[in-house]
Amino acid sequence: MPAIALEPHQLRLTIAPAALGFANTAELQDLPLPWIGQERAQAAARFGLTMVQPDYHLFVLGEVGSGRASLMHQAMCEAAATRAVPPDLCYVHNFDAPEHPRAARLPAGQGRVLRQAMAELTRSLQTDIPRHLSSPDFRAQARAITQVYEAQEAQAFSALEAFARARQFCLTRSDEDGGHMVFTITGSNGQPLTESEARALPPDQRARIDQAEQALRAEIMAFAQALRPLERVRDDALNDLRKRTVRPLLQQALQSVRSTVAVLPEALQTWLEQVERELLQHLQWFELADLPARDSAADGPAPAERSADNSDDSDGDEDDDAQRALNRLLHLCQIHVAVDHHAQRGAPVIVEDNPQHRTLFGGIEARHESDAPHADYTGIRAGSLLRAHGGFVLLHLHDLTSEEGLWARLRRFLRSSRLHIDEAGSGSNPGAAVSLQPEPVQVDVKIVLIGTVEEYYALQEADPDTARRFRAKVDFVESFAASSDSRRACAIFVAHSCKRHGLPHFAPAAVALLLEQAHREADDQGRQSAQFGRIEALLMEAASLCQARGGARVEAADVQAAQHARMLRHNYPEEQLHESIAEGERLITLTGSAVGQINALTQIDLGDYRFGFPVRITARTFAGHEGLLNIEREVDMSGPIHDKGVLILHSYLTALFSHVAPLALNASIVFEQEYSGVEGDSASCAELYALLSSLSGLPLRQGIAITGALNQHGEVLPVGGINEKIEGWFRACAAAGLDGTHGVLVPSRNQRHLMLSADIASAVERGLFFVYTMNHVSEGIALLTGEPSGMSPADLQQPRTDDASDNVASAEDTVLERAEETLRAFRRACQTAAYPRRGRGNASRRKR
């Protein structure tokens, strides 16, 4: 069967704009956006998002630009709308263990209500408590307690004074410096002695005075020790009086706080009891902090409020210390709402684009007071996982694994669903006075993890325990079967993109070109690429060109101009290679015929741009026993797939000429002027033809370039990058001048993958260029040599024998027969070289 030349309409898919069914995409912008070609992924996403059992997190597989993130976010929002609003998360100070703040959850919106209630309570207590402690009734009871103490103190001091007088000392007590005592020696007249009089006393009298002084000092110390329990009794009595006075007020205020929440968690009940206890224990701070205000409003303080009527600097410092202590205490009586859902509708959906320890798991911020960092529970900051409790959080696996320790910490969280917030990695100052360890919180969150296929299966193999937590696999396809429904869905996607970006809408012809580009991205006339990121980029570029020319809507010419502009931005390497052909630096023969030489087609992928380019393959054959030599492999310039293709080629050649065995062949194949390495098996057909040409002596047409892989039976297999390869060859031929002898020979199984440029279709229509397809290598060699191949499966079924046995192999003069004749000549040459006497007489002549 000969190679088939394709018709122009077979070279590309052309979409009729009228078949799309709209005047412009503005008509479609309000229609819901479907999951285009991702029905399987949509069903898997819905299943995973609605599963409430543990370990049904979602792993989303797909390539960048497939819409995996945007579509999953859309599905997460839809699922979240059906869920209840999760509770608020609050933290409170733990008075019993300050380094372990307590956590509590409240119904959505109740956190800020309780926080406001506590803020109002602390503000009101700063005025209500001092007012109660300065009431006449409290002052009267406090004065009575003080008077009892003062009477006991006066009695004890009177005894001390009598003790001093009996020993000729005058004892006085200063009202300043805390009641400092001073005693002096008195004479017989009861008056204090002067210094000169004291020195004039006889020695024995001075000795008696010294003994008396020692006794008095001991008695003064005993007096001070006796006052301490009296002071404690007085202070305890005053504290009890303060508590009895303030407790009803405080209990009533705290009960008002409790009533703001329908059901108060046990942790907060315990905490409010701690607040009551702490406030009652430090009521004196309210009094001392309120003294400056009362001093300015009254003549003087009450006796119960100050033990001595002093107003020196030390008292001012004491008041300031009390104010700071009170402010700190009231600060610790506040509610810290770490997660506030008062305005939330449904469950939260969080897309974490910058996952770090702090942003994902939360952290603790330190406050700086007098240049010293200080951390407390109000510095706790919730991360995405806490904020997404009851809902969903979307993460990218690559982002998690790129930061040290982040993925390991997430694995630990997945095992327990308990989140620990610590200062490590939170950005807090390591010199903080207290290292906080907030109470761990149970978190119910569904993680949507996005990664590639390779990352998914690498996770399955490397970490099975973590992989089983992601039981819902959402697999986004790279391409999908095209239909009228999918094309309309794509048009809706175009409309939504225009609306979202504020771009002019598209005419049907422009949308048709975008759809054709989607087929080109998929290299398939029946399938579209699911990489909508690339289509959206082309859409925005075309719309920008439309706006630049002042157009009202994007036309087909705008899309074509955007495609051409994109190519010019990326094709400089391609231009350099084609210039090297035009300048004769790279040897590519475009016309005529040559033996053992053929033009193959390769694809160069730069990541953001792909293009095809011809490369010359040459083959040389000699008599020998070394077999087929792959020069690229010998110098480590070929990849494993190319090496595999050469081995398959060698296997096919061995089977093809098995009746001529043993083969006496030395053959070498090389990619001429190729210095960056060779990979892939798409040149194996071209390599076979170059070898057959060298063996048969038949020249190959140089105007036809070849691509295709073969199997061990000579069947031609499809290859990748078919469109780029053909266009690269066409460009080289067009630069030299098309004369009707140029074309390409490609696998027939690649016909559905053809989405060639309109220039090639036009050249084929005018008979200046040809695209041939083949199913078997025999069809290609016949086209290239103009001779029957003798290699088709039907030909090979005919009995063939070695003419060394005096049998006739075939009467047909084919490529295969010519190659066989050369191989027999090689064998005879080898036999002659090895056995000169026997080999010369036994050589038989081939019979035709």
pLDDT digit string, tens, across residues 511-534: 999 999 999 999 999 999 998 989
Residue of higher predicted confidence among 104 and 839: 104
Helix (H, G, I), strand (E, B) or coil at 839: helix
Give backbone dihedrals phi and psi of 513, rounded to 5 degrees, phi first.
-70, -40
Mean pLDDT is lowest, of 124-138, 253-267, 634-648, 785-799, for: 634-648
pLDDT at 231 (0 to 100): 86
pLDDT at 299 (0 to 100): 45
pLDDT of residue 302 exceeding 70: no
Give backbone dihedrals phi and psi of 675, rounded to 5 degrees, phi first.
-120, 0
Question: 332: pLDDT confidence band, cut at 50, 70 and 90?
Answer: very high
What are the tens digits of pLDDT across the range 553-579?
999 999 999 999 999 999 999 999 999
**CA end-to-end distance (rounded Å), the chain:** 25
Give backbone dihedrals phi and psi of 567, rounded to 5 degrees, phi first.
-60, -45
Residue of higher predicted confidence among 777 and 183: 777
pLDDT at 801 (0 to 100): 57
What are the tens digits of pLDDT across the range 682-731?
889 999 999 999 999 999 999 999 999 999 999 999 999 999 999 999 99
* 446-451/666-671 β-pairing: unpaired
What are the tens digits of pLDDT across the range 333-346?
999 999 999 999 99
Question: 153: pLDDT confidence band, cut at 50, 70 and 90?
Answer: confident
pTM exceeds 0.85, yes or no: no
Instruction: List C-alpha distances in Å: 842 to 750, 805, 814.
Output: 49, 11, 26
Residue 327 tokens read as 């402010």
pLDDT at 373 (0 to 100): 64
Scan for tokens 């210039």, then name that residue: 579
Report how far residue 130's alpha carbon sits from residue 128's, in angstroms, rounded to the nearest whole number: 6
DSSP string, 419-476: E---STTTT--TT-SS---PPPEE---EEEEEE-HHHHHHHHHH-HHHHTTB-EEEE-
pLDDT at 198 (0 to 100): 72
Report how far residue 113's alpha carbon sits from residue 283's, in angstroms, rounded to the nearest whole number: 26
pLDDT of residue 541 exceeding 50: yes
Instruction: List C-alpha distances in Å: 320 to 130, 283, 284, 371, 774.
Output: 16, 15, 13, 19, 97
pLDDT at 847 (0 to 100): 34
Q: Which residues contact 782 (CB under 8 A, 6 or more apart)?
A: 2, 3, 788, 789, 815
Residue of higher predicted confidence among 108 and 33: 108
pLDDT of residue 4 exceeding 80: yes
What are the tens digits of pLDDT across the range 82-96?
999 999 999 999 999
Residue 65 tokens read as 């630009």
